[in-house]
Structure 1
């Protein structure tokens, strides 16, 4: 009971601090908040003017909200980037990399991206399609002849677009529990031959990590280079994503990186990253800084046509399959989303009548979310190094501000929403394949 009272007091205090800031962010001319934040109204930096004078974004206020989120250890650290009209309006770090050996998070601190990595897989494939060496309707078995599914002739039907839009036909999160149990990627792809199927390929949506990563085999067969090497060559390097890498070795080799954190009895506990989901690199292998992600947003808002031409972006962002479960979950989803679908490594939403391209991710003490608002030429990405859901409401708060929407109070919603691209295959909050007692004894 005391624990619940303390949690309620923490949430109440946070809501009190954040709601005035969120309300002020809806209007550029709103009076500065005098709420309890790390910086006072008098020493807040002025908001950077956007190239489009019609914007209502108050960058300084969003940065102040981020400062509040890391205040008093609510979360260990986070980073946020906002780009608009081809300009980086903000790309900063907040809080610390590790509660045990605190160093400030800065623009070059590397975070694990989890399922935000899927957008790189779709884009890498699109570049090869644009090169003319691959087609969206190319069949997987043309590149991986040994691939099998349990339904007769189903394996031969799976296309490149099916893989990237989660339409392989397998049940949701197939083999994630085995991946969490240290099974190897290659062994799991072989097990698909005997796995039950939810539908024929192309006919239904079932979110995947292992099956999604088959696209890495296609890239290798097409280019003769390992998937991670090709992404570095065709995406990281030309976009100037100098901190970005793949895998556990990549993040550990970073000059500065944020450790994952889980909740312990005395507060936040930092861990070493687990290798499990790094084994499915296309689904969850990327590490990047907020400086890197600002460049990623600029490219996907159309400002790097030398790397990602506009017709390719339109294809990558267009929904291919409906995902109605995305409309449930966090309060901003219930109130703002009227339809949801999956594209090619991205999600596509109708957000109060406006197109939003989105992806979220989470794995072992890391969380992240990113969104594009094409009509406003706006991109936002938020990364944080804890299992907290508190920062989740900042992204829809920024979208609401850009669109002039009123009434949303998303910063008091700290529920962790499984529809935001969580990697864990969870059942009642416990990863599948993990007993309740084991879950209590050790962090996820």
Structure 2
């Protein structure tokens, strides 16, 4: 398969990006993408390539849903997840250019209720800090607040005041979705309209991104929507389309778009904020967004994997790095059942969009294959290399899950009576969670996140396995352990839900009645 893909890319290298592309060249490129999609077992994918200001290739591959015959095309809608963040930084760029705010405004200047545990961070944290993940929170810390909840953005931010920092202010990088919620609320405060309306008016409409959305509200009406999939028992399982906007986290990750629409977005960025005679923000603002605010260490192993990489960091909603001597601005997006990748190589006037509808992150690897093709040779079969890494990662995670299940001690019984367990458990970060008995079964209920409701089945001792009512992308196994005092009174509950994003372990739940 590697030899076949290399041959297809060799054909791709020869094609000239213009309106006069040869049909054979386009055919080889389509074969390459379809081959990669099939190898990765991704149900559906859309890809757009922008070169020298024009869309030189765009297409859909596979189907909207596993088992369906409806094909993906360049207008099919996918969740782009954290590629939403660039819409937030670009909106702020336009407001900075208009003189309405500064990148270095304290967040509290616009959101008086903004509060962090670290008082220094509360007073000094700026919009720039929020956009570059530098306030001191750990990576994904606080996602448990909003995930599957019915919180508003303001409610999410008020709960953030209880999040313990992972670093001292500005001393470490922690990828923070909740800080982009704050940035979105800053847009609303400065612009006098919610962030999503601002994005619609200032970017979607003038750029001709006519199918792009900030929530799922119109998806049924619009049609041609990819179905998300999770990996279950090694196969793709169709799941519902989550609405992250209604969870209060929209500014971090709720945009839904197509390859066609995202290609317009990329064209504008590659032209430093201008497209078709309309300027959206200044060239200086574009450079701000692409300037590294945090630098990660570049090890010999990193250089071996990514040739020519001498720096690697994060700007304002863009990952920035060097690849084979070229500056690259890129970002990924991970949603319930979907992944996206947007990458730009400004000096080559090259931009790439990859949208997929399952929990397999093939986008970054296709990007490197495409960049290599334009540079004229190939470092390696990136798609194959990425697939091997993805398989190893999934195997390691599956083994980790097996170890949790294998830790069960057979033949034990609960030591705590059910009526002792029942009640309301409270955590300042989250609010209340209620344990009740329904039809003889213990139930775990989340008043602010009913989609997380579950049945509790005895695991061992006073630990219960969580059997969620709904299917979730990020986790499907977890336990709760009930804690008692010296009088054998239940006083608290702790979670263990192994996954890479939603950290239930951040909750310190105490029984209140």
The two structures have a TM-score, normalised by structure 1, of 0.80
In structure 1, distance between residues paired with 2:400 and 2:206: 43
> For residue 286 of structure 1, what is the aligned residue in structure 2?
255
> For residue 228 of structure 1, what is the aligned residue in structure 2?
196
> For residue 267 of structure 2, what is the aligned residue in structure 1?
298
- 1:172 has 2:173 as partner: no
> For residue 378 of structure 1, what is the aligned residue in structure 2?
350
SS of residue matched to 1:359? strand
In structure 1, distance between residues paired with 2:293 and 2:20: 32
Contact map agreement 2:37 2:61 (CA 8 A) in 1: yes
User: What's the offset of the Cα at 1:390?
Assistant: 4.0
- 1:77 has 2:41 as partner: no
- 1:337 has 2:304 as partner: no
> For residue 9 of structure 2, what is the aligned residue in structure 1?
22
In structure 2, distance between residues paired with 1:165 and 1:333: 25
Across the aligned residues of Structure 1 and Structure 2, the Cα RMSD in angstroms comes to 3.3
1:196-215 mapped onto 2 (5 Å cutoff): 196-215=164-183
Q: 1:128 aligns with which of 91, 95, 109?
A: 95
Contact map agreement 2:243 2:254 (CA 8 A) in 1: no
User: What's the offset of the Cα at 1:167?
Assistant: 1.0
1:323-362 mapped onto 2 (5 Å cutoff): 323-324=296-297, 334-335=306-307, 337-362=309-334
SS of residue matched to 1:211? helix
Counting matched residue pairs gives: 397
In structure 1, distance between residues paired with 2:172 and 2:39: 45
- 1:322 has 2:295 as partner: yes
SS of residue matched to 2:222? coil
Distance 1:102 1:83, change over 3 A: same
1:247-258 mapped onto 2 (5 Å cutoff): 247-258=215-226
1:89-108 mapped onto 2 (5 Å cutoff): 89-108=56-75
Contact map agreement 2:339 2:355 (CA 8 A) in 1: yes
> For residue 219 of structure 1, what is the aligned residue in structure 2?
187
Structure 1 unmatched runs, 5+: 1-13, 29-46, 418-425
Distance 1:263 1:239, change over 3 A: same
Structure 2 unmatched runs, 5+: 391-397, 403-451, 455-463, 474-513
Q: 1:145 aligns with which of 89, 112, 122?
A: 112
Quick check: 16-25 or 224-233, which moved more?
A: 16-25
- 1:263 has 2:231 as partner: yes
> For residue 309 of structure 1, what is the aligned residue in structure 2?
282
Distance 1:408 1:178, change over 3 A: same
Contact map agreement 1:150 1:195 (CA 8 A) in 2: yes
SS of residue matched to 1:370? strand
In structure 1, distance between residues paired with 2:144 and 2:304: 29
In structure 1, distance between residues paired with 2:224 and 2:299: 34
Point out the structure with the larger strand share.
Answer: 2
User: What's the offset of the Cα at 1:387?
Assistant: 1.3
SS of residue matched to 1:214? helix
> For residue 31 of structure 2, what is the aligned residue in structure 1?
64
Deviations 1:330-351 (A, max 9, x none): x995555332111111111111
In structure 2, distance between residues paired with 1:22 and 1:391: 16
In structure 1, distance between residues paired with 2:36 and 2:468: 27
Deviations 1:276-304 (A, max 9, x none): 47631121010111110110110011052
Distance 1:347 1:391, change over 3 A: closer
> For residue 485 of structure 2, what is the aligned residue in structure 1?
none
Deviations 1:255-312 (A, max 9, x none): 3110111234584221111234763112101011111011011001105252243222
In structure 2, distance between residues paired with 1:394 and 1:237: 29
SS of residue matched to 1:296? helix
In structure 2, distance between residues paired with 1:146 and 1:440: 35
Deviations 1:395-439 (A, max 9, x none): 10011122234332211121677xxxxxxxx99689xx9998759
When Rg is computed on C-alpha atoms for both structures, the one with the higher figure is 2
In structure 2, distance between residues paired with 1:328 and 1:173: 26
